[in-house]
């Protein structure tokens, strides 16, 4: 059955699909993979995911290519990262093969929701894991559920690739210096909501958080990584409180291929004076170019884009990555899983 979705207008939101795929860890082992048509989960009222935030997730995408094939971008890397997240907050890691099998199954079962080539839309895959065991005392669960849902999402830039402005705010930290920032934990998002809301109210698309220990170095950019181009080099913050973005990792590879030097290091706020491009990067947008960064505590404004347009390097990054993800340029890094 076909859908009558207007793919180009879909938001980045939840759109119901036909099936999701689930697996439960119980009695020390992962059970059978189950296909569900239900959009809800039945939880114990004292489950650890509800009380002590044992919840981790991933976000990746599947694309329909010009050749009609469906490609998932960096499936294995997302499997590895959710295992790191699981170990970080004492949850049961989902084996790589199980993760891959369940993501592929969820994509195939919902094939009619994979947007057509050229629409700019894609199928977002959201694997997540929750602790099920009832606890009142603080302790990790023994039982876990891993679920993969998929939902079609529209192109990130509805009215064309364009800059947004972001702000630096010292009033809030997203995570603690040796905390959970390096893992994809739902709780990190809870901790970032108030800052994000304030920024949106002031007309900014995101908060550029500073490192939570010294408040000297650039850290995470809202729910995305940050990079800049300085003297022709690709620079991106290195910190224990940043989630290792797979998009950022891919861009570092592309940057080197384009002949640029790549530096992962501390970046001070005043270095923003000397950058020629800056962007937030992540699965949702690939790159979201930044026009201006306003430090709301000092009143200082860093104008990144002099002509108001996205920079040439960021534009080329997006073009290349999109070409690889749609099978228009060869996958020389083993980033693509073709769904047969
Ligand atoms: C998911 C996420 C990112 C981006 O990671 P990608 O793998 O590129 O999608 C960056 N920062 C945070 C905090 C995230 O949760």
* % of residues, the chain, pLDDT over 70: 100
Cα of 245 vs centre of ligand 1, distance in Å, is 5
What pLDDT, on the 0 to 100 scale, is given for residue 285? 92
- Would you say residue 2 has pLDDT above 80? no
- Would you say residue 136 has pLDDT above 70? yes
Three-state DSSP class for residue 58: coil
Q: Is the CB of 94 under 6 A from ligand 1?
A: no
Cα of 1 vs centre of ligand 1, distance in Å, is 34
pLDDT tens, position by position, 138-157: 999 999 999 999 999 999 88
Is this prediction's pTM over 0.85?
yes
Alpha carbons 97 and 265: distance in angstroms, whole number: 34
CB 91 within 8 A of CB 141: yes
CB 61 within 8 A of CB 123: yes
Q: Stretch 266-275: mean pLDDT, rounded?
A: 97
The closest of 101, 115, 100 to 17, measured between CA atoms, is 115
- Would you say residue 1 has pLDDT above 70? no
The closest of 158, 140, 333 to 253, measured between CA atoms, is 333
Confidence of residue 3 (pLDDT cuts 50, 70, 90): confident
Three-state DSSP class for residue 85: helix
CB 281 within 8 A of CB 225: yes
Cα of 201 vs centre of ligand 1, distance in Å, is 23
Q: Stretch 166-172: mean pLDDT, rounded?
A: 96
Q: How far is CA 59 from the centre of its chain?
A: 5
Q: Which residues in 49-117 belong to E strands, given as ranges?
A: 55-57, 60-64, 70-73
Output the average pLDDT for the chain. 97
88 dihedral zone (left: phi>0; alpha: psi -120 to 50; beta): alpha
The tokens for 81 are 């990262």
Alpha carbons 271 and 73: distance in angstroms, whole number: 33
Ligand 1 pocket, mutate which of 80, 125, 247, 282 (most atoms under 8 A from CB): 282
Alpha carbons 53 and 297: distance in angstroms, whole number: 32
pLDDT tens, position by position, 56-92: 999 999 999 999 999 999 999 999 999 999 999 999 9
How many Cβ atoms sit within 10 Å of the Cβ of residue 273? 11
251-256-258-262 Cα dihedral, nearest 10 degrees: 80
Which residues have a Cβ under 8 Å from the Cβ of 217 and sit 6 or more positions away?
210, 211, 237, 239, 266, 267, 268, 269
Q: Is the CB of 184 under 6 A from ligand 1?
A: yes
- Would you say residue 133 has pLDDT above 80? yes
CA dist 123 → 36, 97, 211, 234 (Å): 18, 21, 33, 29
pLDDT tens, position by position, 213-252: 999 999 999 999 999 999 999 999 999 999 999 999 999 9
Q: Is the CB of 222 under 6 A from ligand 1?
A: no
Q: Stretch 282-286: mean pLDDT, rounded?
A: 95
The tokens for 283 are 């699965």
What pLDDT, on the 0 to 100 scale, is given for residue 160? 83
| Residue listed under structure tokens 């036909």 | 18
Minimum-distance ligand 1 atom for the alpha carbon of 249:
8
The closest of 65, 151, 106, 149 to 336, measured between CA atoms, is 65
What pLDDT, on the 0 to 100 scale, is given for residue 334? 98
Q: Is the CB of 243 under 6 A from ligand 1?
A: yes
């Amino acid at each position: 059955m076909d859908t009558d979705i207007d793919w180009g207008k879909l938001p980045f939101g939840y759109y119901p699909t036909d099936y999701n795929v689930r697996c439960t860890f119980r009695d020390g082992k992962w059970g059978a993979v189950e296909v569900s048509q239900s959009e809800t989960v039945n939880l114990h009222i004292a489950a650890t995911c509800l009380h002590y935030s044992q919840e981790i997730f991933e976000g990746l995408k599947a694309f329909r290519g010009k050749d009609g094939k469906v490609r998932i971008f960096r499936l294995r890397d997302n499997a590895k990262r959710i295992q790191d997240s699981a170990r970080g907050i004492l949850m049961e890691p989902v084996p790589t093969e199980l993760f891959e099998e369940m993501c592929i199954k969820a994509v195939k079962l919902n094939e009619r929701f994979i947007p057509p080539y050229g629409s700019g839309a894609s199928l977002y895959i959201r694997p997540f894991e929750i602790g099920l065991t009832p606890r009142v005392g603080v302790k990790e669960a023994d039982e876990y559920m891993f679920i993969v849902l998929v939902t079609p999402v529209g192109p990130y830039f509805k009215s064309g690739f364009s800059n947004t402005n972001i702000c630096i705010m010292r009033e809030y930290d997203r995570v603690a210096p040796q905390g959970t920032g390096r893992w994809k934990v739902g709780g990190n998002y809870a901790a970032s909501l108030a800052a994000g809301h304030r920024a949106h109210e002031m007309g900014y698309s995101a908060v550029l958080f500073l490192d939570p220990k010294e408040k000297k170095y650039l850290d995470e950019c809202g729910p995305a990584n940050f990079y800049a181009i300085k003297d022709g080099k690709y620079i991106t913050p290195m910190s224990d409180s940043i989630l290792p973005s797979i998009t950022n990792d891919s861009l570092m590879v592309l940057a080197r291929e384009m002949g640029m030097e790549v530096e992962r290091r501390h970046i001070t706020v005043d270095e923003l004076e000397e950058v020629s491009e800056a962007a937030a990067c992540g699965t949702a947008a690939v790159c979201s170019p930044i026009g201006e960064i306003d430090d709301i505590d000092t009143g200082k404004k860093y104008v990144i884009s002099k002509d108001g347009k996205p920079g040439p390097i960021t534009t080329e990054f997006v073009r290349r990555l999109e070409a690889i993800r749609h099978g228009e340029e060869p996958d020389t890094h083993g980033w693509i899983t073709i769904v047969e």
